[in-house]
Chain A
Amino acid sequence: MADDKIIYATFDDDMVLLESAKKLTGKGVYIRDVFSPFPIHGIDPVIGIKHTRLAIAGFIYGLIGLALAVLGMYYFMIVDWPMNIGGKPNDFLIQNLPAFVPISFEFTVLLAAHGMALTYFLRNWTLPGVKARNPYPYTTDDKFVMEIHPSENQISKDELMKDLKSTGSVAIEER
């Protein structure tokens, strides 16, 4: 029998939810997701969430920014239209490089930060006009909710309910 119903178990304390998640996953239950009003530290390895690679993406965006800035200034100031500034030598990039440091730095930060932010918005799918998918409005206030799909688990639904209740869930709903 295909059962598409999802179990939402509400907790009113983050530490209780964490302990409960540890017990359940210890028994082999797969917890699909956890919704909370603030980050629960330590939940990620318990429910099998890998650490995000956003920082690596940020580093790459930063490198692109640095390269673009240096290339751009090389073209503007050395190739296309060298300026005579007090007769200072500027025939090669290396001679003019000290003056390019500030903008190279700023542009690196600019691209790293905005590239990362865009990636963050896209990966989270948080964009203007997107509808929120949290199961209950109170998960952004003071409650913590665990989402379990019985169809993904071997354990019987009754046993799951019993385990959730015994580990401190204050409300369990199936929908």
Chain B
Amino acid sequence: MQQEAAIREPLILGEKTYGQITDDVLKPVVGKANRSWWIAFGIAAIMALWGIGCILYLLGTGVGTWGLNKTVGWAWDITNFVWWVGIGHAGTLISAVLLLFRQKWRMAINRSAEAMTIFAVMMAAVWPGIHMGRIWLAYFVFPLPNTFGSLWVNFNSPLLWDVFAISTYFSVSLVFWYIGLIPDFATIRDKVTQTVPKKVYSLLSFGWTGNAKAWNRFEEISLVLAGLATPLVFSVHSIVSMDFATSVIPGWHTTIFPPYFVSGAVFSGFAMVQTLLIIMRKVMNLENYITIKHIEYMNIVIIVTGSIVGVAYLTELFISWYSGVEYEAYAFLNRATGPYWWSYWAMMTCNVISPQVFWFKKLRTNIIFTFFMSIIVNIGMWFERFVIIVTSLHRDYLPSSWTMFHPTYIDIGCFIGTIGIFFVLFLLFARFFPVLPLNELKTILRSSGEQYKKNTEDATQH
């Protein structure tokens, strides 16, 4: 049994037993959904349907229904892609990196953060897919033999690296998540009484028994997958950044991109986790498990990564001048003072200035304020990608080809649609899946539960 300093705040509040943890987490699964769940689900479903409609129209008519033009060939589509991939970074960071660092506070949030990751990566994958125009030829991203009718895919291209990175990241995260879910599905299987749910959960639980050897393997595979997923988290967004950095567009062709994108991704991912969990802990009565302390820890991660992002922005700006490359210098001057100045300053305010308020303990432990800030960061990080992509492209080398980008309602509809689909999936997850990792929470009850902490404190004092 692990010991923990009494000075650390408990991670599980209230007088819980193993059985109570099961009951608290399974309440929404075995019970009926409440009204707020249905309202949220209804709104998300309408957004999703609207988006699916727009996507189908786009596929039927062509990419010309977006506001893209000859100069701005990438705009909201790739902005949304990078935004969603970025959001998809928090889950695996929480469950893998924090597992390696033995941070116990991850246990209350890793399951839902990983679910969020998986759904976000799915939404990210939508964008390059529909951006192809002819999605029915999407299989050409795979290395097919020349006799198939085309050349091999180009393994020197970062776009192909991306295909491998995103698909590896998605499938490894999915497996990692599912392996953790199996013992909890077994708990539900053994707890529910109705026939159909019992059948479904016993299918999902793969016949898990929880014998000693299985747990031994479980812990080993969790650790090794965490070790594999950790460099994966860093590689995925590095590779996404290379889609830009290996090109010769001023404003993109910079070596700072990989670390800057990775920290931005973690920053936005944690913001999205905050957005989702602050609502979820309230609606599902999980305040004893997802405590203020958890929210504070995540806010600390947000300050750290937000500051890294801030430093990256300033470095980038400085180097564009210091390099003496006039195109590079102009790209940045144009970002800050050109026709898209408002998006640049929206990005600066939301990502660099506003997270700094979390230095105040009062603010970073305030739930409503944190929720508000998480939305601000989500918006800011969307603008970051918009700034990088659109402002670097819209003023080409030749002033005769300078244009602006104007989104059409299909652009907007597709984006809203992915948000809708994301929330539909997340709400279904919150309704039918164990949102907290039961088996992991039970292992820390002794060392980090409030009641146990009190007992040890009493024992040391008397």
**A: which residues have CB within 8 A of B?**
15, 33-44, 47, 49, 51-52, 54-55, 58, 62, 72-73, 76-77, 80-81, 83, 85, 96, 99-100, 102-103, 105-107, 109-110, 112-114, 116-117, 120-121, 123-134, 137-142
Contacts and interface: CB of A to CB of B under 8 A. Distances in A.
B187 A141 contact: yes
A126 B190 contact: no
A141 B208 CA distance: 13
A43 B210 CA distance: 13
A106 B237 CA distance: 12
Given A102-B158, A103-B160, A127-B206, 8 more contacts: A36-B210, A40-B215, A110-B171, A113-B229, A124-B213, A125-B207, A132-B186, A141-B18
Say what secondary structure dominates the interface of chain B. helix
A51 B216 contact: yes
Contacts of B167: 110
A55 B152 contact: no
Chain B interface category by residue count: 35 or more
B168 A107 contact: yes
A120 B179 contact: yes
A140 B210 contact: yes
Contacts of B190: 132, 134, 137-141
B258 to A, nearest CB: 11
B228 interface: yes
Interface of B: 1-2, 17-19, 22, 143, 146, 151-156, 158, 160-161, 164-165, 167-168, 171-172, 175-176, 179, 182-183, 186-187, 189-191, 202-203, 205-221, 224-225, 228-229, 231-232, 235, 239, 242, 438-440, 442-443, 446
Contacts of B442: 37-38
B206 A120 contact: no
A14 to B, nearest CB: 9
Contacts of B2: 41
A173 B214 CA distance: 23
B189 A110 contact: no
Given A39-B219, A125-B207, A85 B156 contact: yes
Nearest to A102: B161
A72 B143 contact: yes
A127 to B, nearest CB: 6
A65 to B, nearest CB: 10
B186 A140 contact: yes
Given A54-B220, A99-B156, A142-B17, A130 B191 contact: no
